[in-house]
Amino acid sequence: MKSEKDDRRVKYTKMVLKESFIKLLSHKDISQITIKEICEDADINRATFYAHYSDQYDLMRKIENELFENVSVYIEEYTRNEANLDRVEMVEKIFVYLKQNAQLCRLFLGERGDMEFQKRIMTFIYEKNIDELMNAEGVSKETAEYIYAFTITGCLGAIQKWLDDGMKKSPRFMSEMLVKLAGGLPEVFVK
């Protein structure tokens, strides 16, 4: 997953292929993007593309995995840090990250992105932040699982709206809102 051990030529090749793919992806759907086109834009021989990726979708998955890895490292940095952030502060940092990587996040977390990936990364983030997972009393295990599913995708929808709206509201605003919503959901059932 990491290209740490790649020599410089390989690093360069992968880098420009990814850049060209992302450039094309921001103009049209992945189904309309050809390998030929990516290679021409990147000025990389098509045979070289096949040495690294099997097709556009393989390339996309590799980029997804990198994004996941980067988010993971980013979160770890704040977690093992002396910073000792509370939950709202931690989620706020996530939104700062999304804003710093706006182009990529818009493409991969937006409506046209791969929802399987989106749920995967949202679940990861959620579990890093909410430890007392589903312990509200008076809620059955099955109901709790549905609330969980509701929350994961609900947060995703809010993030998508934020990205679509040009990230106008502050990370702090978004964080406080989502923490309140996600935390308040199980209580809706108890009362």
Closer by beta carbon to a copy of itself, 40 or else 145:
145
115-129 vs 56-79: helix crossing angle, rounded to 10: 10
Q: How many residues bind DNA (CB under 7 A)?
A: 22
Q: How far is the CB of 26 from DNA (least distance, A)?
A: 19
Q: How far apart are CA 132 and CA 115, in angstroms?
A: 26
Q: How far apart are CA 25 and CA 41, in angstroms?
A: 12
Q: Is 46 near DNA (CB under 7 A)?
A: yes
The binder of 22, among a copy of itself, DNA, none, by C-beta within 5 to 8 A per type, is none
Q: Which of 167, 39, 35, 169 is nearest to 103 (CA)?
A: 167
Q: How many residues bind a copy of itself (CB under 8 A)?
A: 38
Place of tokens 């030529």: 9
- Which CA distances in Å does 83 have to 72, 75, 107, 183? 17, 12, 31, 23
Binds a copy of itself by CB under 8 A, chosen from 54, 79, 103, 150: 150
Q: How far apart are CA 170 and CA 151, in angstroms?
A: 21
- Which CA distances in Å does 121 have to 128, 158, 189? 11, 15, 27
Q: Going residue by residue from 49 to 78, which x/- string records binding to DNA, judged by CB under 7 A?
A: -xxx-xxx----------------------
Q: Is 161 near a copy of itself (CB under 8 A)?
A: yes
Binding positions for a copy of itself, 35-74, rule CB under 8 A: 57
Closer by beta carbon to DNA, 21 or else 148:
21
Closer by beta carbon to DNA, 27 or else 141:
27
Contacting range for a copy of itself; rule: CB under 8 A; set: 13-21, 34-42, 79-87, 139-147: 139-147
Place of tokens 């509201």: 169
Binds a copy of itself by CB under 8 A, chosen from 70, 112, 138, 170: 112
Structure tokens at 53: 């990726």
Note the residues at the interface with DNA (CB under 7 A). 7-10, 12-13, 34-37, 43-48, 50-52, 54-56
